[in-house]
Chain A
Amino acid sequence: MNTLFDKIWDAHVVNKVEDGPTQLYIDRLYCHEVTSPQAFDTLRDKGIKAFRPDHIIAMPDHNTPSDQQEVINDPVGRKQVETLKANCEEFGIKHFAMGTKDNGIIHVVGPEKALSLPGMTIVCGDSHTSTHGAVGAIAMGIGTSEVAQVLASQCILQSKPKTMRINIEGELQQGVTAKDVALYIMARMTTAGATGYAVEYAGSTIRNMSMEGRLTLSNLSIEMGSRAGLIAPDETTFAYLKGREYAPKGEAWDKAVEEWKKLKSDDDAVFDKEVTYRAEDIKPRITYGTNPGAGIAIDECVPTYDGLSESEKAQLKSQLDYMQFQPGEKLEGHPVDYCFLGACTNGRIEDFRAFASVVKGRKKAENVVAWLVPGSWLVRQQIIDEGIDKILEEAGFELRLPSCSSCLAMNPDKVPAGKLSISTSNRNFVGRQGPGARTVLASPLVVAASAVTGVITDPRKL
C-alpha cells in the first residue's frame, strides 16, 4: 500500500535521526552558479572534499546571456560563472561550461541527457528541481546550506512530507497544454495548496501527456507549494530516455526498465490528500496578478472585489495596481510589449514546435519585442534540424542562445519597468522579469498568438 513517493523515499533512507528528520541519500546533485559558491566555501572552511563528486553535475544557466556567449559583461555575474568553473575544477566535479554543446538550463539538460532517471533522489539549489520528478524521481529544491551538506556527505536531513495525488482525467481540448493544466491547478488550490506535500500526478490526461508536457507540469509543482511533483514512469518515459547520453545501455537498460516498471503507487496506496480535475474544464489560461495562482481562463475577466473581505480586497488591489489592470477587465485583446518563450518551464522542443505552429505564415507584431530562448544547446540543435528556425525567421523572430534568460532578471534579458510581458516562464512576481516589469504567464501557444497580434490572444481564435 505504498505510494510511488514512499517507495523511492524508503529506498534512500540511510538513517532516521531520533526525534528528528530522516537522513536521505542523494543520487544526483545539480549545481548552478547562483546557489553554490557559498556551499563550496563551507567545504573549504572545514577543509573537506566533495564526498561523491561523480554524483554531481554543474552548469551555469542563470547569468548566461542569450544574445552572445563570448563574454558576460556584468562583472558580478561573470565572477559567479567563473567561480563555478573554478570550484568544479578544485572539487573534481563535471562542469558543462557556458557556450558548449552540453550547456543549458539544468532542468532541461538533466532529463534530456538522462542524468535524471526513474527512482533517483535528485536535489539542486533551485526550486524548479521539481521538474525532474516527471521521470519518476524524488526531485526537490534545496537551499545553499543543504547543497553544502550534499557536497560533504551525499545526504540531506529532511522530514518526510505528506503525499498528495492530483488526478487529471479526460482529453485536453485543442489549444490546451500542460502549462494550462498547471495554471488551472494553481488557481484552484492556490500557491500554498500543496505546501507540506509531495505531489504525484496521475490520471488518463497525464498518461497521454508527452514527456515534455510532464516536465512542464512537474516544473510548476513548486508554484502550488509542493517541493516535488512525481509522475510514475511508463512507456512514454522509457521511450524518451532510451539512447540518451547517460542512459544505461544494452543489457543494463533492459534490467533498469524492469526495475523502473515497479515504480508506481500500489493500487491500495493511501495518500494524505487526493484531488481530481477534469481535462475538459481546462481552457487556455493567463494570469492577472503577481503570484502564479492569480489566473483565469483567457476568455474570463479579472476578478472583482465583490464578496471579498477587507484584507482580501487589499491583497487583490495591490496586485492589480502593480499590473495596471482593473477589476472586471477583460484581458484578451490587451496590448503586450514583450513575449518570452523559454525557461525551464517551456524551453523544450515541443514548446518551440507549438510556437512555430502558430506563427507559421504570420508575422511578428511590430509593437512586440520577442525573446525565443531554447532551454539547452541540444534543444537549439533540434530546432535547427527540424527547420523550425526557418519558420521563426520567416515570421520575423530570432532564435537566441540557451539561457534562463528573461525568467528572472539575472542576465541582460530584462523587461523594462512598466512594460507588459506575456511569458512562458513560471513566476509573475513583482519585479521578477526586471524591476517594475509586469508579467502575464501563459502557454507557448498563447504567447505565440499574442506575439503575432500584439495583444493577448486566444490561439484557438486565430
Chain B
Amino acid sequence: MAKQKFNIIKSTCIPVAIDNCNTDLIIPARYLASTTRDPKFFGDAFMHDLRYTADGQPVADFVMNQPEFSEAPREGVHEIIVGGQNWGSGSSREHAAWAISGYGVRVVISSSFADIHRNNLLNCFVLPVIVSKEFQQELFASIAADPNAVVTVDVPAQTVTNEATGNSEHFDINGYKKYCLMNALDDIDYLLSQKDKIEEFEAKA
C-alpha cells in the first residue's frame, strides 16, 4: 500500500460514529477473495454495504454519501476519519486497513481500537490516534456543527488538535514506529536487517 511520509496532517474529517465498527463492516468478506493489491479495488469496497444497497444504489443517509462528506479524500480534505469506540474489532483482515488506505484516508481517530486492526493500520501507513472519549465526542460535535471543521494531527509533536475549539490532546506512539512513519520505513526491512540476531537466537534455542 501507499507509503507516504508523515509529518503534520491538517484536514477536514469524515465522522463515522459507529461503536464496535468491525472489520466485516469496513470491508465485507466477499472482497477478501481477491489476490490483488490494487488500492482502488479496496478503496471502492470501503464500508461498501453501508454505502450501497444490495442493488448498488447509494444509501442516501449514510454519512459518506451525504454531500458534506462524500468528496473523496485529498490533501486537507477528508484525510481523517473520526470513528466510534472499539474501531476495527473482529476479523484480522488487513483488507480493512487496505480499504481505508485505498480510499485515501491517512488518520483514524477513536477512543479505542481493536489490537490487530491497530497494528494493521500502522503497517499500511494509516495512523491510528487514540483520544479520550470526551475529546472524541467533542470532535463529533464540532463536525456536526460545521462539516468543514479542521483537525490537526502533528506526528512529530504527538498532538491532535480540534481547530474549532482549540482543544488539543497528546497521543501515544512508540519512538520506533514514529520514526518509521515519518520516514516511510517498513517493519519487514528492519527484521531483514536482524538476520544475525535471529540465527543467534535459533542456535541457542
Enumerate chain A interface residues (CB-CB to B < 8 A).
Answer: 14-15, 17-21, 23, 25, 34-35, 37-38, 41-42, 46, 48, 51, 62-63, 74, 76-77, 79-80, 83, 125-127, 129, 140-146, 148-149, 152-159, 161, 191-192, 195-196, 222-223, 225, 227, 291, 315, 408-410, 417, 427, 429-432, 435-436
Contact = CB atoms under 8 A, between A and B. Distances in A.
Contacts of A225: 86, 89, 114-115
A79 B120 CA distance: 25
A145 B174 contact: no
Interface string B1-40: 0000000000000000001101011001110111101000
Interface string B63-101: 000000000000000000000011001111111010000
Q: Which of B115, B123, B176 has the most CB of A within 10 A?
A: B115
Nearest to B137: A311
B198 A153 contact: yes
7 contacts: A34-B33, A127-B91, A143-B116, A157-B187, A227-B116, A410-B32, A431-B25
Contacts of A195: 86, 89, 112-115
A18 B175 contact: yes
Given A38-B37, A145-B123, A436-B54, 20 more contacts: A18-B176, A20-B174, A20-B175, A25-B198, A37-B35, A38-B35, A83-B35, A127-B91, A140-B116, A144-B120, A145-B94, A146-B123, A152-B191, A152-B192, A153-B195, A154-B198, A192-B85, A225-B114, A227-B116, A435-B54
Contact of B37 (A35, A41, A129, A191): A41
Contacts of A20: 174-177
Contact of A143 (B112, B119, B198): B119
Interface string B40-69: 000000000100001000000000000000
B109 to A, nearest CB: 17
B33 A80 contact: yes
B191 A35 contact: no
Contacts of B114: 192, 195, 225
Nearest to A228: B115
A429 B201 contact: no
Contacts of A76: 33-34
Contact of B89 (A15, A144, A152, A192): A192
